[in-house]
Amino acid sequence: MSKYDIIVLGSGPGGYVTAIRASQLGLKTAVIEKESLGGVCLNWGCIPTKALLKSAQVFEYLKHANDYGLVVKEYDKDFDAVVNRSRNVAQGMSKGVEFLMKKNKIDVIKGFGKLKPGKKVDVDGKEYSADHIIVATGARSRELPNLPQDGKKIIGYREAMTLKKQPKKMIVVGSGAIGVEFAYFYNAMGTEVTVVEYLPNIVPVEDIDISKQLEKSFKKSGIKIMTSAEVTNVDTSGDGVKATVKTKKGEEVLEADIVLSAVGIKTNIEGIGLEDVGIAVDRDKILVNDYYQTNIPGYYAIGDVTPGQALAHVASAEGILCVEKIAGQHVEALDYGNIPGCTYASPEIASVGLTEKQAKEKGLDIKVGKFPFSASGKASAAGTKDGFVKVIFDAKYGEWLGCHMIGAGVTDMIAEAVLGRKLETTGHEVLKTVHPHPTMSEAVMEAVADAYGEVIHL
């Protein structure tokens, strides 16, 4: 039997990062993976979707070349080539993880791992043991009873990024990050897209102003939005799909080639031996403490299988913290109130901290500032004037409670707010920090200035 200090079950952005940090700390480490290194994020999620979205963005630039004083007489898309580029990007990243495993002397064990009592893992009949076993098996597309995925007419995100033929009409059920990103991609490529959202607003976890702006931008792009709506039945017996949608006005039947189910995720915890070991689970999540220890000594869990936000960067941070604690380092528990969330549709969305509604519900006296990109010189020059930056501060202490952005490239801007909040900066300190001009990022300073009644360019 092979013996390790650490065995990591799963090699997604939680698992492989955990393994590398463990190896850096001098721990003999192995990773068990049943599919491709990098997990869903690198192979079927974060990375390949961004490649698709980039192709859509370039295609939109070609459509609007005249707006930039350019003449492009002939252009078209090759849907297969767009999909192939995305797959090649994913494969390249997965090979990069393979290189990192070798570089850090981490053993990669291929196969399906099942936890056993006594700090052991069975991989397709062969046993391995470790002092510490970390579960990082991630999640998959969740299925609704009335929307069973057949992989052909009712699909999940995996099929959505590898379709052989571009659909003429698509219904996207769910308007979280996955739903709106694919809605943008297919609409930009020329598919007629309808988004169906059960709640009153699309991207429902975001600040209400962000939701309204995205709906406005999407409608301008030709995407049909149906909120407070529910798909109650799907008929796939014909050539396409007929979806019955229940709204406040009654029922409506939508016809499309394909329905994309983007209604959240389901954790991959079945069949991995949690019951055999006695590891506590509540509502599809493995219960852990601040350092990701389960109720059974020697067994840990990180990433989507635990109650924190199901985000790649959260999984990575949890894994690093987990192994540093195991190695005896002094670590601070992760602050889940300061985790940035990003959505890569066009316009992009990025946010951190409290929404305005949440701040008010806490009874806080707040200052709110907003700066539209329509007043930004850089945004005007780039032709990307949709969106704004919104900031929320505690009126008494100047604490930065929340920051919400929608616009071009805002996913690359949100880190300023995350770092500022981590360092407990105040509104006045942000305001007096000189931001470069002309940039999209100076909209953060301008929004803060608006909160304090000192805005110059609005």
CB 402 within 8 A of CB 354: yes
Of 64, 132, 435, 437, which one is the catalytic site residue? 437
User: Residue 21: what pLDDT?
Assistant: 97
Q: What is the dihedral of CA 411, 258, 196, 311, to 10 degrees?
A: -30
In this prediction, residue 46 carries a pLDDT of 86
Give pLDDT, residue 387: 97
pLDDT of residue 39: 84
**Distance separating alpha carbons of residues 425 and 70, to the nearest angstrom:** 44
User: Angle at the Cα of 154 (from 201 to 194), degrees rounded to 5?
Assistant: 35
Binding residues for NAD(+): 174-181, 197, 264
pLDDT number for residue 313: 95
- Output DSSP code: residue 372: E
Query: What per-residue confidence (pLDDT) applies to 146?
Result: 86
Instruction: Please answer whether residues 286 and 279 qualify as being in contact, where contact means their C-beta atoms are separated by less than 8 angstroms.
Output: yes
What is residue 238's predicted lDDT score, i.e. its pLDDT?
87
Summarised one tens digit per residue, pLDDT across range 37-79 is 988 888 888 899 999 999 999 999 999 999 999 999 999 999 9
What is residue 449's predicted lDDT score, i.e. its pLDDT?
Answer: 96
Residue 395, C-beta contacts closer than 8 angstroms, at least 6 positions apart: 364, 365, 366, 367
Tell me if domain 2-141+266-336 and domain 154-263 are identical in fold.
Answer: yes
Domain residue spans of the chain:
2-141+266-336, 154-263, 347-451
In this structure, are strands 341-343 and 348-353 parallel, antiparallel, or unpaired?
A: antiparallel
Looking at residue 458, its pLDDT comes to: 80
- pLDDT of amino acid 43: 84
Identify whether the C-beta of residue 25 lies closer than 8 Å to the C-beta of residue 323. Answer: yes
Annotated binding residues, as ranges?
50, 113, 174-181, 197, 264, 304
Are 20 and 311 within 8 A, CB to CB? no
pLDDT at 1: 63
CATH architecture for residues 2-141+266-336: 3-Layer(bba) Sandwich (3.50)
Instruction: Write the class of the CATH domain 154-263.
Output: alpha beta
Those residues of the chain that have pLDDT short of 50 are none
Q: Please report, to the nearest 10 degrees, the dihedral formed by the alpha carbons of residues 112, 115, 119, 124 taken in order.
A: -40
Q: What is residue 30's three-state secondary structure?
A: strand
Mark the binding-site residues for FAD, compressed into ranges: 50, 113, 304
- The per-residue pLDDT for 38 is 87
DSSP string computed for 154-218: EE-HHHHTS-SS--SEEEEE--SHHHHHHHHHHHHHT-EEEEE-SSSSSSTTS-HHHHHHHHHHH
Q: What distance in Å separates the CA atoms of residue 149 and residue 118, rounded to the nearest whole number?
A: 38
Q: Which pTM does this prediction carry?
A: 0.94
In the block, tokens 């909040």 appear at 421
What architecture is the 347-451 domain classified under in CATH? 2-Layer Sandwich (3.30)
Task: Confirm whether 437 is a catalytic residue.
Answer: yes
